Structure 1
Amino acid sequence: MDTNDAPQLIEHIRHSVPFTPNDTKWIPVSARFVAMGIYPKATGAISVYELKHGDLKTVAELEKPNGIKCSSFGASSLHERHLATGDYAGIMSVWDLELPDVPIYAAQAHTSIINAIDGCGGQNIGYGAPEIVTGGRDGCIRVWDIRVSSPVVTLAPSDSKHVRDCWTVCFGNAFNDQERCVVGGFDNGDLKLYDLRTNTLRWETNCQNGVVSAQFDRKNIEMNKLVVTTLESKFRMYDLRTQHPEKGFPCLMEKAHKSTIWQGRFLPQNREIFMTGGGNGGFNVYKYNYPSSRAIKDADGQLMGICGSVQLLNARVISTQPIVSLDWSPDREGLCVLSSLDQTVRVYIVSKTQKY
């Protein structure tokens, strides 16, 4: 790794919080971000911060009945900017951060903790209706339209006695009003791709280790790449453009952080650059390089995808505790917010991303 001309990882702000920060998200079209988590007394924390003249200003500090595990702005318009959250009691709520005392929508989404949440159809990203997907410890994945009280799609395990914990969910393939896919990752390493248009399981594989995080490089295009992070210090990059009838999608596997990789997030302004956050308290910035040809024909004449390669641009260890969430700013290229289990949120600037 040559760091002479690499993107620089510059700490802009470090701020301690009185709760365990499970998630952080930038508020779209603003210089604000939200940090969410759980207080020592098991109540929920939602704190809003604003960047102002190089300092961090606390805008609001809210306490909720249950700890907050995950969040998304993906299903809300840029005008409303409503925050969807999943909590430790299995309740999915949607909040107006201007009037945050009572949620504008709430539903008992799962029987226990909601591990992951994602949104699609808002923020001028993706086609179709605004929807929220949740994944929980009960092994279910549910898709919600907040205009109705019950889930529009429920994907539940057929064997209720042997339920696998769903650790991550994400939307993708929303390139027109009909198409939309959901990926679910489970604690036994299962990775499943569901087609919401046909209501079928389109593809599944096993990653050999529990799937902690998954994200498409873009939600509003034909599915192109999927980064999947797992336990045992591995991440996988799937090329989703060509599906072989027997071998499925091609996969590139890399090791990083020497511990669990908690997050993998693509840069919104450049889908070839992505960042991973690890259990060693470090984060790595990578660039994906496409192969000269993305598909070849096998001996039977079937098209088979080819993976490219990843290049480590820079890395930095910033904490002794795992980095459990990271989020790129949708408005300022290279600006990101990270939270770690040492009860600290950090704002970093990743420079020179436009050069790649």
Structure 2
Amino acid sequence: MATSRSAKPRTVKVTEITKKSIPFTAFQALWIPGTTRICTLGSNDGGFGVIQVHALSHTTALSTAAKSKAPVSDSAPTTSRSSPKLIQQSETEKKVQFKSGTFRSSTRSSSLPHLLTGDFDGRVALWDLARTEFPMTTFRAHEDVVNCMDGVGAQTGRPEFVTGSRDGTVRLWDTRQNHKEAANAGNAGTAVPISNMAPRNGLGRHDIWCVALGGAGTGTDDSLMAVAGYENGDVRAMDLRMGKVVFETNVKHGICGIEFDKREGNARKLVATTLEGTMHSFDLMSGRFAEDVTEEVVAVQSGDDSTLWQIRHIPQRPEVLAVTDGGGNIHMYEHGDEKSLIKSMGSQKIANQGILSLEFNDDLEGLFVGCDLDNTLRVGMVHL
């Protein structure tokens, strides 16, 4: 059963801490786990792939603001020296353009967690950001662009990650297995996925725009769920323990972003955002998909800026989520209890163009990094 209503925004406080223009289109901006350093990846006008690493200065002010729920400017001396800034630490340019990346299959115990990237040639590579001349390992994962990838999270140390591609397949990998196979093939091997979700026989393939990996139900080692969003509006979830699709639906419009409310065990909500400004929240029935999954539909944005690029839950407050749109706005929502609908917490414009990527920091509540189509890297704080 689906319900629908229009969101009625009320004031939400979002502070922009700092921003920096970057000379390439960044498809993703990611927090390096356990730090306030940022990794951005994408492609430049020359058709080359770029990986940059930035550090935030004056992070003490950020920690104080996060704990006090106050804007950074109210938590630190009002001097230019105390204002956090983005400082570029490294830049790597490669022949192939990068489309996706994640640290979520890298353990936090690493001094510098390893970055996974997906590129326009269908390859996945694992990088040591301290030595980026060559990847640690690389292998062909898909026949076409690796549009998206995800892992459970650095908190777990689990090595699995999932990829989605323009070739219409979703594949689950294990970094330990891929290291071994690629090394035996001279760092250019073709690895075999743990699991593969491909179009059914006789059905045309559709571009996969987003994937998510999360716990389901008990939080045990085998309780892993992969979900994918397709260009034609399909949402499809696979139980990786059983190796089969357990839920699928179509929301009529292309799925731009998708995420579980929790990454480890007992995920209760799955949220997807679309090209046409709607957000779809699926109740996972106490962490497990059932035959009758309840769907709630919220109209977030309309008009030329209606594309909802990204959906992200705040790790420390999984009931709170942020959605970014094509007009540079962040829309904040809160999941209600079992009997209530999603509640709007307001919207705020932070950019002039679409925000392609948004990530919350795992350690500082409300701290986010984003990148937009104006080639700007932004760091901000959501105050709840």
Q: How far apart, CA to CA, are the structure 2 residues paired with 1:197 and 1:341?
A: 38
The residue that corresponds to 2:278 in the other structure is 234
The residue that corresponds to 2:56 in the other structure is 51
Letter in 2 for 1:61: E
1:283 to 319, 322, 330: 330
8 Å contact 1:170–1:214 — kept in the other structure? yes
| Alpha-carbon offset, residue 57 of structure 1 | 0.7
The residue that corresponds to 1:273 in the other structure is 320
Q: Does 1:173 align with 2:178?
A: no
| Alpha-carbon offset, residue 124 of structure 1 | 2.6
Q: How far apart, CA to CA, are the structure 1 residues paired with 2:211 and 2:139?
A: 18
Letter in 1 for 2:57: K
Which piece of structure 1 moves more, 82-91 or 146-155? Answer: 146-155
The residue that corresponds to 1:327 in the other structure is 359
Letter in 1 for 2:247: W
| Alpha-carbon offset, residue 279 of structure 1 | 0.9
| Alpha-carbon offset, residue 79 of structure 1 | 2.1
Q: How far apart, CA to CA, are the structure 2 residues paired with 1:97 and 1:141?
A: 27
| Alpha-carbon offset, residue 314 of structure 1 | 2.5
Measured on the aligned residues, the alpha-carbon RMSD in Å equals: 1.8
Q: How far apart, CA to CA, are the structure 1 residues paired with 2:173 and 2:290?
A: 31
Cα pair distance change 1:337/1:245, threshold 3 Å: closer
Which piece of structure 1 moves more, 145-154 or 323-332? Answer: 145-154
8 Å contact 1:172–1:182 — kept in the other structure? yes
How many residues align structurally? 331
1:214 to 258, 264, 268: 258
The residue that corresponds to 1:104 in the other structure is 136
Q: Does 1:155 align with 2:197?
A: yes
Partner deviation per Cα, 1:223-276 (whole Å, 9 max, x = no partner): 311111111101111110267865x21011111132110100000000111000
1:24 to 12, 25, 29: 29
Higher strand proportion: 1
Partner deviation per Cα, 1:64-111 (whole Å, 9 max, x = no partner): 221111111111100221111111111111111122222112111111
Sequence identity percentage: 34
Q: Does 1:68 align with 2:68?
A: no
Q: Which has the higher contact order (CA 8 A, sep 6+)?
A: 2
The residue that corresponds to 1:123 in the other structure is 154
Which piece of structure 1 moves more, 194-203 or 236-245? Answer: 236-245
Q: How far apart, CA to CA, are the structure 1 residues paired with 2:301 and 2:119?
A: 28
Partner deviation per Cα, 1:194-227 (whole Å, 9 max, x = no partner): 0110111111111111111110011111231111
Letter in 2 for 1:318: I
2:296 to 252, 255, 258: 252
Partner SS state of residue 77, structure 1: coil
| Alpha-carbon offset, residue 60 of structure 1 | 0.6
Cα pair distance change 1:244/1:58, threshold 3 Å: closer
Cα pair distance change 1:86/1:244, threshold 3 Å: closer
Q: Does 1:342 align with 2:374?
A: yes
Q: How far apart, CA to CA, are the structure 2 residues paired with 1:93 and 1:324?
A: 22
Return structure 1 stretches of 4+ with deviation > 6 angstroms.
none
Partner SS state of residue 176, structure 2: coil
Gap regions ≥5 residues in structure 1: 293-307
| Alpha-carbon offset, residue 114 of structure 1 | 0.8
Q: How far apart, CA to CA, are the structure 2 residues paired with 1:76 and 1:172?
A: 15
The residue that corresponds to 2:170 in the other structure is 141
Cα pair distance change 1:107/1:280, threshold 3 Å: same
Cα pair distance change 1:244/1:276, threshold 3 Å: closer
Q: TM-score, normalised by structure 2?
A: 0.82
Q: TM-score, normalised by structure 1?
A: 0.89
